[in-house]
Structure 1
Amino acid sequence: MIELVIEPRRRDLGGFEVERVLPWVKRRMVGPFVFFDRMGPVDFAPGLRREADVRPHPHIGLATVTYLFAGEIMHRDSVGSAQPIRPGEVNWMIAGRGITHSERFERARAEGGPLHGIQAWVALPETDEETDPAFHHHGAGELPVLEDDGAWARLIAGRAFGLQAPVRTHSPLFYLHVVLQPGARIALPDDYPERALHVVEGEVEVDGRVFTGGPMLVFAAGKPVLVTARTTTTLMLLGGEPLGPRYIDWNFVSSRPERIAQAKADWRAGRMKLPDLDDQEFIPLPEPATPPNPMS
């Protein structure tokens, strides 16, 4: 049932650390999900350094999805959006042929406070890689919720358990925030060929094995998966239809390495528009440039 257990690797972003799960050397993607970072949990003191902010930077060929358990992030982008995201809400940004955005911790800078959440990247099908960029925000009240015998689940995107989220997606997928009380159970959707779960907090038993907060479990296709909580537990469930190999380099994802090379050249030359309301600084292209890495 369990094909792989992926342990997170810690990365320093200059003001706080994240735990990176995807991509991983032995499993680059799960369905269309090509990137999965857990932010925090961390408790900021007032006066957080501006260096902790994620300055304007570009993306192509993907959709980013930001979801918070605690805290607030201010999003601004090159299609004119300026939207804070708070717990239980979704910021879904479609990069397509190219978008730039920033993520700033303005509330934490002024007041201090917690930050805990997940940022994932979802690859776009080849036919949609060059779609127009767009941004969509959905409040917690817009997202379907399922409750049953100690299990609570919010559908962030896609379809699962007979529910459909309002988030615009480009390929079949599911993405859920789940909270289980001790002894409660949940089964993963069984109608997707690629599925995984991330243990955010707590302790679960799956396939006779016990896992505590941190890892991502990747499951075999076509086999039932039942998860039992041993303590109060928070999970993220995800998966979908595979899209085929993708290349990733810095913030760019594409089915074609030459397209990534063009995006890097465009960013280096200043040909990608900065966010309308945050255009005074940006993250330079990392040097030396590295060749794109194939992902599948």
Structure 2
Amino acid sequence: MSFFPGKDPEFGDAESCNAVTQLIIPRTSDIGGFEVRRALPTIKRRLVGPFIFFDRMGPARFGGHGEALDVKPHPHIGLSTVTYLTSGEIGHRDTLGNHTVIRPGDVNLMTAGRGIVHSERTPDDLRLRPHALSGVQTWLALPERDEEIDPSFGHTEKNALPTISETGVSGRLVLGHFCGMKADVKTHTDTLLADIALRPGARLSFPAEHEERAIYILEGQLGVAGDVFDAEQLLVLAPNDPITIEGAGEHGCRLMLFGGEALEKPRHIWWNFVSSSKERIEQAKEDWRQGRFGLVPGDEKEFVPLPER
């Protein structure tokens, strides 16, 4: 979904608690009635661990009569895309021949490596009736040693992921490890992605077991060290500082916790391409212009042109 013309996020007011080092307010783009909020990257914060891209999709409601998500085939290199829904369905197709429908709580992880093309569209059976769509899509930049590996795709259903259930706290570990649990989803770096709901007053310890950490507030209000933060904000946390988070307000909150090991060197990002080499990105541009990435079986008739920028 990376071709969306998302604007750079903004930074909020200075935080009053030491646990939060940066507060990022995503910029919203409206794509034919479907809102996308881009929280990463920005000029002042390029990555959190391996997460080089963080989009909040929706929440949106399609009215039927053909209203649908239609992301035409487009290419990637040097990264893994992670798609996680809280409502709705998206059909995935790619040049490896995969055709999968992702549903709430499932996770799609597609590793582009040296290059892959995929499309993301509303399944046919939803197009003629009202339906909702909400979730997040992130990119994990690959370690330099893995940037040119063969592309691959994995779909993991929600029942195969570890769950979190405590008094007032519920959730699911999507990627990586957290508080003694580990998700059986292959990643190429130490990482974390978890979907957590906190009822009002419920508390959860967020240990500093990952080098870099952040929180995206999907819904409600979150309390951190006496401060309250609203929905649709990204909080970057201080390293090496365990914290306790708390559901605030009348309804508590729903969050995505994420982070992991910092990359060994900076990455360049242009359109759908991520690489430690500017020359490799130029090569990818030319490969897409010349049609060298291949076609998506079952979705061969359309594609997203290379941006002229």
Residue 213 of structure 1 aligns to which amino acid in structure 2? A
* Alpha-carbon contact 1:2-1:207 (below 8 Å) kept: no
* Alpha-carbon contact 1:15-1:49 (below 8 Å) kept: no
Distance 1:201 1:90 in 2: 20
* Alpha-carbon contact 1:45-1:108 (below 8 Å) kept: no
**1:112 Cα deviation from its structure 2 partner:** 2.1
Answer with 136-145 or 7-16: which moved more.
7-16
* Alpha-carbon contact 1:173-1:240 (below 8 Å) kept: yes
**1:14 Cα deviation from its structure 2 partner:** 3.6
2:259 aligned with 1:206, yes or no? Answer: no
**1:49 Cα deviation from its structure 2 partner:** 4.3
Give 2:307's aligned residue.
286
Give 2:41's aligned residue.
23
Q: 2:97 aligns with which of 53, 72, 80?
A: 80
Distance 2:172 2:231 in 1: 19
Give 1:65's aligned residue.
82
* Alpha-carbon contact 1:194-1:221 (below 8 Å) kept: yes
Distance 1:145 1:275 in 2: 34
Distance 1:224 1:49 in 2: 45
Distance 1:32 1:156 in 2: 15
Distance 2:243 2:286 in 1: 45
* Alpha-carbon contact 1:43-1:115 (below 8 Å) kept: yes
2:256 aligned with 1:236, yes or no? Answer: yes
Give 1:255's aligned residue.
276
Q: Deviations over 1:107-154 (max 9, x none)?
A: 442222100110000000000001110110000100001211111121
Q: Deviations over 1:21-69 (max 9, x none)?
A: 011121110000000111111110012346x410000000000000000
Answer with 78-87 or 40-49: which moved more.
40-49
Gaps of 5+ in 2: 1-18
Alignment of 1:175-190 (within 5 A): 175-190=193-208
SS at match of 1:274: coil
**1:15 Cα deviation from its structure 2 partner:** 4.5
Aligned length: 287
Give 2:9's aligned residue.
none
Give 2:24's aligned residue.
6
Provide TM-score, normalisation by structure 2: 0.90
Answer with 179-188 or 93-102: which moved more.
179-188
SS at match of 2:128: helix
Q: CA RMSD in A?
A: 1.1
* Alpha-carbon contact 1:57-1:282 (below 8 Å) kept: yes
Give 1:294's aligned residue.
none
Q: 1:142 aligns with which of 134, 137, 160?
A: 160
Give 2:214's aligned residue.
196
Distance 1:273 1:209 in 2: 50
* Alpha-carbon contact 1:48-1:112 (below 8 Å) kept: no
Give 1:223's aligned residue.
241
Q: How many percent of aligned residue pairs carry the same amino acid?
A: 51
Residue 258 of structure 1 aligns to which amino acid in structure 2? E
* Alpha-carbon contact 2:222-2:252 (below 8 Å) kept: no
Alignment of 1:76-155 (within 5 A): 76-106=93-123, 107-155=125-173
* Alpha-carbon contact 2:73-2:296 (below 8 Å) kept: yes
2:190 aligned with 1:169, yes or no? Answer: no
Distance 1:248 1:95 in 2: 14
Q: CA 1:281–1:213 in 2, change beyond 3 Å: closer, same or farther?
A: same
